[in-house]
Structure 1
Amino acid sequence: MPPRRNPVLITGCSTGIGRASADLLVKAGYTVYATARRPETLAELAVAGAQTLALDVTDERSMVAAVREVERAHGSVGTLINNAGYGEYGPIEETDLDAVRKMFETNVFGLARMTQLVLPGMRAVGSGLIVNIGSMGGRITFPIGGYYHATKYAVEGITDALRNEVRSFGIDVALIEPGAIRTQFEETVNTAAGVANPDSPYADLVAKVRSVNADAYSSKVLSAGPENVAKTVLKVLESDPPRARYLVTAAARTMVNARRLGGDLVWDAIIARQFSR
């Protein structure tokens, strides 16, 4: 295990990918700081050997306090895993923009601010790793998810720029792009997509999206458990240097390649067929 990857600070560990990643990294021998807005949700990770901290990526004081605590104990953060995020779904025309702004605060600005906070310490020691948990939804787009996709496209851009800005300081940057992962995320998506006015002109499309999502997340072919992403996180930490991008799930690779190779006409035809009412 490369010592320079320690300690590992992970955001959004109460459930899903963050929890699975923290658990696997602890088992692999890493010093892990697992964080969540509600630290009481981290009790099992604490028993497993993780250090636990309260951290809300939409609160400046919370972010500063968490990074300072890790730096006080270790000098610098060895690895930052920006995992916290969620999906606010709905038609572009009808979705509440205040809810969209709130999602951007978590998915984009929280990730950006956490990155800003750890970089001075990483530069001072001449090493570090930043792993951003993006999504295949940062490279392909489905209807009713436009604003969520916008946050993940933003993460793609930030990650690409950052990778080339900090390379000369000995800092690596990698992006993990999961496909459909069976966590509480799909429940949030289906709940958000299901609040459309039944008289909305988009009501039929929203219903179709809910149906397609339910089928995808219940399929062991089209989706995977969070442990699959956790294994990729471990692979990134143990790679020197890591790759720029890691797509997770065969379905995600298939769809991203279809979008890339087929262009707009092919992708739009796939979407029209999949979501036809």
Structure 2
Amino acid sequence: MVTGASSGIGRACVDELVRIGARVWATVRSDSDEKALLRDHPAGVRVLRMDLSDPESVSAAAQQVVADGPLDGLVNNAAMPMPWPLEHTPLDAFRRQLEINLTGHLAVTQAVLPALRLAARQSGTARIVQVGSIVGRIAGTIHGPYQISKFGVVGLTDSLRAELAPFGIKVVLIEPGAVATQVWSKMAASFAELEETLPDAAREQYADQITAARTSAKRTEHRGLPPSRPAQVIVKALTARYPRPRYVVGLDAHLGALAARLPDRVRYWLTAARA
């Protein structure tokens, strides 16, 4: 089961799983995304309509999965970014960010665990793969709500790994760096909304940081890893006999992992805004 399968890492993961002969439950939110998946994978994919912010939607999708029998793997991939300086982040928007990027992962996991347990009893193991980010180790500016949610995914993954180990369910964290997906083009609209919504004084205070974040997003759209790279690692985590607890994907992610291990003062100097 792959959440957020309409594009980016989720869609690439579905493509890779079908290529190796897996049957996949793929969750999407729109008619067009469902039609695209069924067009490209008419035999290997069953599409579920699911919105992580809607508990009834999650429950209804999970019921179909559980009723079908054992589930060998769950890929919690669905997420949304939200660029906003924390000082001015609307709390309702912050809660929505956590609801989708963090609480949603737990909600789906809880709902399909009966099918994962059944698979573990039958085959000896089942897998949960959490798609986090290297910003779950080292955070910067403007993307605070998203980065906080990814730090939360790390804790959620570690806790699930400890609790589910006795039942033969392995839990793996994937930490990619920048990936070239449609999310970066959508980010342009988010930055426009941000600049329209911020009070004049705040827009002036954070102008340099917003400009730097916007430039970085444009660069990433063209220079980030292809989604197939993390998708291949996800499939490895699902199929390897002894998967690692964590997989870091991409040169920038490896550099970020190294930076996260630096002394606190050095790390702060690297990540703090200069204006």
Structure-1-length-normalised TM-score: 0.89
Residues 137-146 or 50-59, more deviating:
50-59
Is the Cα contact below 8 Å between 2:139 and 2:271 reproduced in 1? no
Q: 2:221, 2:18 → 1: CA distance? A: 28
> C-alpha displacement at 1:21, in angstroms?
0.5
Q: 2:117, 2:64 → 1: CA distance? A: 18
Q: 1:193, 1:142 → 2: CA distance? A: 16
> C-alpha displacement at 1:64, in angstroms?
1.6
Residues 118-127 or 14-23, more deviating:
118-127
> C-alpha displacement at 1:190, in angstroms?
4.1
Find the residue that maps to 1:176 and give its secondary structure.
Answer: strand
Corresponding residue to 2:105 among 111, 114, 120: 111
- State the match for 2:56 in structure 1: 61
- State the match for 2:259 in structure 1: 258
- State the match for 2:141 in structure 1: 143
| 2:39 is aligned with 1:38 | no
Is the Cα contact below 8 Å between 2:80 and 2:97 reproduced in 1? yes
- State the match for 1:240 in structure 2: 241
Q: 2:210, 2:257 → 1: CA distance? A: 23
| Count of aligned pairs | 262
- State the match for 1:175 in structure 2: 173
- CA change 1:182–1:70 in 2 (3 A) is same
Q: CA offsets, 1:69-90, max 9 Å, x none?
A: 12222x1322111111011111
Find the residue that maps to 1:29 and give its secondary structure.
Answer: coil
Q: 1:187, 1:150 → 2: CA distance? A: 22
Find the residue that maps to 1:89 and give its secondary structure.
Answer: coil
Q: CA offsets, 1:105-135, max 9 Å, x none?
A: 1111111111111113322442421111111
Q: 1:44, 1:216 → 2: CA distance? A: 25
> C-alpha displacement at 1:39, in angstroms?
4.2
Structure-2-length-normalised TM-score: 0.89
- State the match for 1:4 in structure 2: none
Corresponding residue to 1:13 among 1, 5, 13: 5
Amino acid at match of 1:264: D
Residues 169-178 or 234-243, more deviating:
234-243
Structure 2: stretches of 5+ with no match in the other structure: none
- After superposition, residues 82-161 of structure 1 pair within 5 angstroms as 82-125=76-119, 126=121, 127-161=125-159
Residues 250-259 or 150-159, more deviating:
250-259
Amino acid at match of 1:270: L
> C-alpha displacement at 1:266, in angstroms?
1.9
Amino acid at match of 1:56: D
Find the residue that maps to 1:14 and give its secondary structure.
Answer: coil
What fraction of aligned residue pairs are identical, expressed as a percent?
A: 36
Amino acid at match of 2:238: L
Residues 127-136 or 192-201, more deviating:
192-201
Residues 55-64 or 193-202, more deviating:
193-202
- State the match for 1:215 in structure 2: 219
Amino acid at match of 1:215: R
> C-alpha displacement at 1:224, in angstroms?
0.4
Find the residue that maps to 1:181 and give its secondary structure.
Answer: coil
Q: What's the C-alpha RMSD, in Å, of the aligned pairs?
A: 1.7
Q: 2:268, 2:148 → 1: CA distance? A: 18
Q: 1:144, 1:199 → 2: CA distance? A: 16
Is the Cα contact below 8 Å between 1:107 and 1:151 reproduced in 2? yes
